Amino acid sequence: MDYAGLTGYLDRFQKESGLEVVIKDFIGLFEMDARLFEAVRNFYIHKSPYCMTVKGNPKLWDYCLLEKKMIYRRLMREPVPFFGYCFAGVGEYVLPVRHEGTVIAALAIGCFRIEPELLERKLHHLAEKYELDENALSKGYESNARVRIEDMEPYREQLEIIVEYLCLVYAALSRKEKTGTAGIEPGMNRSYTLSHVMEYLRVHHAEEVTLEDLSAFCHCSKSYLSHQFRLYTQMTMKAYINQLRVNSAKELMRSGKSITEAAFSVGFKDSNYFSKVFRDLEHKTPTEYLRE
């Protein structure tokens, strides 16, 4: 099944509406098809600087996972849309995705601002209790929670289209795999972890990123992370980083940077090695690429 239409629709929706869409997978839907996981991984987690900073603390990472389970339990009891704030003060409108009476996922639409007085107390509490930088949290929140609940009203019909699409995808995959809805399982955190790894690499791929850095950020062992990453991507971490670097270098070269400038800008320390990696991945040299 080709999921390019879903990815494109979600991208357009976010750009047009200014709203963020996060798909909370409760039953392992995205683990049923690797192509589906790849198509939606940019919509699987909250990846704003504010949320990524908060989740850098292991206890707050666990709270984030716990809130996902709490949302699931609430929707199983009462499968209707609702509005609420997470423990970090980010407001979301949550819509259930149901298949044959069972909640399989939810759309979390945001990010909505908390009242200024409550926000000040919330950020002070997070900073003091979890040793976070309060100024950094405040700046991150300002760039993150930038819309009002009223801003969502014109887009309700489009959100229902996304909900219906996910239901149809699950129906097709469950028939193919003969898989039932089993509810949240600990193993379903794998997609959550990997989505954070990929976002971390997207932001930091031009830096020296180690497996230790990634396992510390995602609060898991190096061996687990390495195994799961290769299982999902069919690539080593190094190969994945090189692909990100080459993609970034292509953009820089097209914008006027020299081959050497582009290579060093994206994290390569040797232009000859960059050319070799580029040729291996693109089946042409950087010079041939620029001639096209």
For 63-103, write each residue's pLDDT tens digit: 998 999 999 999 999 999 999 999 999 999 999 999 988 99
Structural domain includes residue 151: yes
The residue from 140, 163, 184 where one domain ends is: 184
pLDDT of 135 over the 50 cut? yes
Q: Are residues 27 and 114 in the same domain?
A: yes
Residue that wins the pLDDT comparison between 234 and 1: 234
Structural domain includes residue 137: yes
Return the pLDDT at 103: 94
Backbone angles phi, psi at 282, to 5 degrees: -100, -10
Q: Are residues 34 and 165 in the same domain?
A: yes
Structural domain includes residue 125: yes
Q: Residue 164: count other Cβ atoms within 10 Å of its Cβ.
A: 11
pLDDT of 181 over the 70 cut? no
pLDDT of 178 over the 70 cut? no
CATH at 277: 1.10.10.60
Return the pLDDT at 183: 43
Per the structure, the count of domains in the chain is: 2
Rounded to two decimals, the pTM is 0.82
Q: Pick from 117, 115, 142, 137: which is nearest to 127 by CA?
A: 137
Q: What is the chain's mean pLDDT, rounded?
A: 89
Range of 117's domain?
Answer: 4-184
Residues 6 or more apart whose CB falls under 8 angstroms from that of 37 comprise: 30, 31, 44, 191, 232
Residue that wins the pLDDT comparison between 176 and 105: 105
Q: Are residues 142 and 244 in the same domain?
A: no
Return the pLDDT at 146: 65
Q: Pick from 196, 194, 251: which is nearest to 47 by CA?
A: 196
Residue that wins the pLDDT comparison between 190 and 240: 240
Q: Are residues 173 and 253 in the same domain?
A: no
Structural domain includes residue 133: yes
Q: Are residues 88 and 153 in the same domain?
A: yes
The residue from 146, 161, 184 where one domain ends is: 184
Chain segment 271-283, per-residue pLDDT in tens: 999 999 999 999 9
CA distance 72 to 103: 8
Structural domain includes residue 230: no
pLDDT of 32 over the 70 cut? yes
Q: Are residues 147 and 254 in the same domain?
A: no
Return the pLDDT at 187: 43
Structural domain includes residue 167: yes
3-state secondary structure of 156: helix
Residues 6 or more apart whose CB falls under 8 angstroms from that of 196 comprise: 45, 47, 52, 55, 217, 218
pLDDT of 188 over the 80 cut? no
The residue from 143, 164, 184 where one domain ends is: 184
pLDDT of 116 over the 90 cut? no
Residue that wins the pLDDT comparison between 185 and 220: 220
Q: Are residues 256 and 170 in the same domain?
A: no
Burial class of 207 by CB neighbour count within 10 A (0 to 12, 13 to 18, 19+): exposed
Average pLDDT on 37-50 reads: 88
Average pLDDT on 55-62 reads: 93
3-state secondary structure of 21: strand
Structural domain includes residue 168: yes
Q: Are residues 279 and 160 in the same domain?
A: no
Residues 6 or more apart whose CB falls under 8 angstroms from that of 97 comprise: 103, 104, 105, 106, 107, 163, 166, 167, 170
pLDDT of 37 over the 90 cut? no
Q: Are residues 254 and 155 in the same domain?
A: no
Backbone angles phi, psi at 20, to 5 degrees: -100, 135
Q: Are residues 245 and 172 in the same domain?
A: no
Structural domain includes residue 160: yes
Average pLDDT on 160-174 reads: 92
Confidence of residue 186 (pLDDT cuts 50, 70, 90): very low
